[in-house]
Amino acid sequence: MVARARLLFKRKLLSFNMKKIEDGARPSVQSPLEIRHLRTLVALRDTGSLVRASQLLNLTQSALSHQVKLLEDRYGAPLFERKSVPPQFTAAGLRLLALADAALPQVEEAERDIARLVSGQAGQLRIAVECHTCFDWLMPAMDAFRMRWPEVELDIVSGFHPDPVGLLHQGRADLAIVSEEDADEPVDFHPLFGFEIRALVANQHPLAAKPFLAARDFADQTLITYPVPDEMLDLVRQVLEPAGVRPARRTTELTVAMLQLVASGRGVAALPLWAVQHYLDRRYVTARPIGPDGLSGRLYAASAPAVSARPYLADFVGITRESCFKSLTGIVLL
């Protein structure tokens, strides 16, 4: 009986104390600021526009604008000038960006540490490519990845590979950069980005005066390409072959050699816009759209399902998408 009485007394005392706490408690002020808001501001700064920031974050432009408006209403001040391109941040916006630059790296590092603890592995990432121009954007992405995952052995499978997915099946590569998804392949395809392919001609070439080039415009030209099978060339596969156009051919391994041949009037070429933009800025050659709606290509990262489950694989894909979107001209995230 004594023990039961003591137990009842303790329960009443606890209930009384909790009621006092509740009666005397003051409502705390909840900040609307979240990690996603900080990421939005960083994306806006890094991409230079609401449209590109929304693409990078995979949000609608209205959703991104709503996030910014929520913060501006909470703090009673604009975060950036709406009419400036790129956006000019106000003092309030700059203060939040300083917070984002300090906090987000710590959040990302903590998430990577947790992934390491859970997976309990370091591993390796051997990359095979079928794209001659991929190294322009792949190397910066690899450098960024090494800083975040120094324990992962990162390497490129040497040489050009017309069938990089085959290397996955052979265990000779962990990741393949490819231009098409293949539903028959038992691998995972991770979308990277889409891009426009432009025809390249000499500045004084008669075709430079046309608004765009059709299949028939290539018929009497020498087409300069990389030494790869026709099925790997978007221009041939999507435009020339369906039209029955088979121009004379010349091949070269190097992009710069291809552009020199084009500039000297030895032929025409077709390359991703992002791969030749700096040559176009210097007016070295002239670029024209292919077809009235343009010609586009896509790139994917392919990996075996077991490799896809590794935390660092997903991070590599994310780093690559973000790095390319910020540095390459005219690409669209898939």
Residue-wise pLDDT tens digits, 211-224 = 999 999 999 999 99
Average pLDDT over residues 235-241: 96
List 193's β-bridge partners, or say none.
Answer: 299, 333
265 has a pLDDT exceeding 90: yes
13 has a pLDDT exceeding 90: no
Distances (CA, A) of 282 to 110, 203, 207, 273, 277: 44, 11, 19, 14, 9
Tokens at residue 2, please?
Answer: 């004594």
What end-to-end distance do the CA atoms of the chain give, in Å? 72
Average pLDDT over residues 87-114: 91
Q: Output the pLDDT for position 289.
A: 97
> CA nearest 146: which of 311, 309, 315?
315
Q: Output the pLDDT for position 8.
A: 46
The 3-state DSSP class for residue 269 equals strand
150-169 pLDDT, tens digit each = 889 999 887 667 788 999 99
Kindly report which listed range (154-163, 169-178, 258-267) carries the lowest average pLDDT score: 154-163
297 has a pLDDT exceeding 60: yes
135 has a pLDDT exceeding 70: yes
> CA nearest 314: which of 128, 129, 108, 158?
108
Q: Is the peptide bond before 311 cis (omega within 30 degrees of 0)?
A: no
Average pLDDT over residues 178-202: 95
Average pLDDT over residues 30-35: 85
Q: Output the pLDDT for position 9.
A: 40
> CA nearest 298: which of 180, 156, 202?
180
Average pLDDT over residues 30-47: 90
Q: Output the pLDDT for position 121.
A: 64
Q: Output the pLDDT for position 120.
A: 58
Average pLDDT over residues 288-302: 95
Name the region of 330 (left: φ>0; alpha: ψ -120 to 50; beta: rest): left
14 has a pLDDT exceeding 60: no
253 has a pLDDT exceeding 50: yes
Kindly report which listed range (73-87, 233-247, 253-267) carries the lowest average pLDDT score: 73-87
What is d(CA 309, CA 315) in angstroms, rounded to the nearest whole number? 11
Q: What percent of the chain has pLDDT over 70?
A: 90
139 has a pLDDT exceeding 60: yes
319 has a pLDDT exceeding 90: yes
- Work out the mean pLDDT of the chain and round it to a whole number: 88
240 has a pLDDT exceeding 80: yes
81 has a pLDDT exceeding 50: yes
146 has a pLDDT exceeding 60: yes
Average pLDDT over residues 306-322: 92
